[in-house]
Amino acid sequence: MKKNLLLVLFFISTSILHAQDITGILGAFPPELVLLESKMEHKKDTLIGQMRFIKGILNGKSVVLAQTGIGKVNAAIATTLMLEHFRPREIVFSGIAGGIDPALFPGDIVIGTQVTYHDYGAIEDGGMQYTPTRNPFNMEANPVVFSCDSMLVQKAVAVSRNLVFTKIKRENGSFSPSVKKGVIVTGDVFVSSATATQRLRKDLNAAATEMEGAAIAQTCFQQHTPFLIIRSLSDNANDKARNDMQAFYKIAAENAATLVMAVVGNLK
């Protein structure tokens, strides 16, 4: 019996060649991008499949903007298309999140230093065991935790000191948002449980939780592209999260976008 061993290798380069002098900006749903798009000049739309990419000038710099849709798969698809077709020098995500750090409140901003999945691994008797994803091109293990570009993080921290953010009204008064560096965790779930937030804080030292960041981070890591995730809190990921999100998501999205615009304007 004749034996045929057929091996088909689809090799996709894990580096983006000839990165362009343009910054990619992503957000998951319209409120996260409305301020950014409104401030862009010389806008030009490009449709790739059914996804809209907007090239233009933001705060004096060339950018391409796109809405990923909610969730990890959507985020990875949008990031891949942006990297393939526009070859941005870096990618910055602007959006809202649920707060995990008990010192943070709606409106506050988290500049991601690290990003990781909170729903990837194995569920065992002892709880969730977090394991690395793998690069499908070489099957090597990725880091369990992806680090945001340190220079972009430093720039975000520096420019945030001179910004005026929209204040948040709470029962005991009106407060200016605080800005903090921290770990952002990602999963395909909306977290609205104090028990879950305590676990994420204990296990992963999470400051905030959302649904796209780690997928963007993994895609950028595998394609050797610097990235930064900026999130403003719409809620505290507890049993009041859904109501709080409806009350604060517009302000949170605006605060994140304000910081992203400042970061972009200070890029070389």
Task: Report yes or no on whether pTM surpasses 0.95.
Answer: no
- Sequence-distant (6+) residues with CB within 8 A of 144 are 116, 130, 131, 132
Picking from 187, 253, 246, the residue whose alpha carbon sits closest to that of residue 34 is 253
Looking at per-residue pLDDT, the higher value among 158 and 14 belongs to 158
H-helix or E-strand containing 103? none
Integer angstrom CA distances of residue 68 from 50, 111, 157, 215, 257: 11, 20, 25, 11, 15
- Sequence-distant (6+) residues with CB within 8 A of 119 are 186, 187, 188, 189
Give the torsion sign (CA, 32, 35, 41, 47): positive
Looking at per-residue pLDDT, the higher value among 178 and 7 belongs to 178
Determine the Cα–Cα distance for residues 111 and 45; give it in Å rounded to an integer: 29
- Give 107-145 pLDDT, tens digit per residue: 999 999 999 999 999 999 988 999 999 999 899 999 999
Would you state the structure tokens that stand for residue 222, as one six-digit string? 């595998």
- Asked whether 230 and 112 are in contact (CB, 8 A), the reply is yes
Q: Which value, in Å, is the radius of gyration of the alpha carbons in the chain?
A: 19
pLDDT of residue 19: 76
- pLDDT surpasses 90 at 59: yes
- Give 200-214 pLDDT, tens digit per residue: 999 999 999 999 999
- Asked whether 92 and 23 are in contact (CB, 8 A), the reply is yes
- Asked whether 83 and 216 are in contact (CB, 8 A), the reply is no
Picking from 14, 166, 85, the residue whose alpha carbon sits closest to that of residue 66 is 85
> What integer is the mean pLDDT of 45-67?
97
Determine the Cα–Cα distance for residues 239 and 236; give it in Å rounded to an integer: 9
Would you state the structure tokens that stand for residue 209, as one six-digit string? 């939780």
- Give 61-81 pLDDT, tens digit per residue: 999 999 999 999 999 999 999
Residue 56: pLDDT band by 50, 70, 90 thresholds?
very high
pLDDT of residue 11: 31
Residue 8: pLDDT band by 50, 70, 90 thresholds?
very low
Pairing of strands 206-210, 121-124: unpaired
pLDDT of residue 127: 87
Give the CATH number of domain 23-265.
Answer: 3.40.50.1580
Amino acid present at 268? K
> What integer is the mean pLDDT of 7-35?
72
Catalytic residue annotation: 32, 235
> What integer is the mean pLDDT of 235-241?
96
Q: To the nearest whole number, what is the mean pLDDT of the chain?
A: 92
- pLDDT surpasses 80 at 2: no
Q: Where are the domains of the chain?
A: 23-265
Least confident of 126-140, 183-197, 254-268: 126-140
pLDDT of residue 9: 25
